[in-house]
Copies of this chain bind each other. A is one copy, B any other.
């Protein structure tokens, strides 16, 4: 633990529930002054996330840098960046993936985060990806993260470690972890709604998943109780 207290960590902060929980996880394990956060502006439909990330980081006293990625929108063809495509909970019949899937999105985020970390001598990346995510994104799985960590270590000659503290947690357990870490009040600043609404729409897959997690943990979501 002492070693981690002297090391620096970079949290990939989306402004959502999971990455905010990870920010508090990092603050629990590293010195507060050694934790910073990066948020990607990739033309996401729910751009309110960027403001949420800024507010969450500010509330936690952590630096937040927003990096642009215009490539995902140029690649196009996914519901989260293309306003012409409706978000729904249906899976693509060919791939079995939801139509919010951007191929390799988390690989891109973490590789850019690693480059940013390299420049600042940061050796720990923290990400909110989870295998238990209802969507089953292949770029969120443990095996993918392990392989990516090795690729980044080889490709940048660093001792970079990727931490994914939510990897095997259910949504209920993630809410319980947030409570244990003192992150619950900050959840009022976060954003999950796939439709980019604030207050949240309440009926998109992300809103339903979030509500189920809080209900299972027996905790009132401060974001919803604000309404």
Flag if B112 contacts A155 (CB, 8 Å): no
* Chain A positions 89-133 with a Cβ under 8 Å from a chain B Cβ: 102-104, 106-108, 111-112, 114-116, 118-119
A69 interface residue per 8 A CB criterion: yes
Query: How many copies of this chain?
Result: 2
* 27 pairs from A and B in contact (CB 8 Å cutoff): A67-B71, A67-B74, A68-B71, A69-B71, A102-B115, A103-B114, A103-B119, A103-B156, A104-B111, A104-B114, A104-B152, A104-B156, A106-B155, A107-B155, A108-B108, A108-B111, A108-B112, A108-B115, A111-B111, A138-B154, A139-B156, A141-B154, A144-B154, A147-B150, A147-B155, A148-B151, A150-B151
Listed in ascending order, the chain A residues whose CB lies under 8 Å from chain B are 67-71, 74-75, 77, 102-104, 106-108, 111-112, 114-116, 118-119, 138-139, 141, 143-144, 147-148, 150-152, 154-157
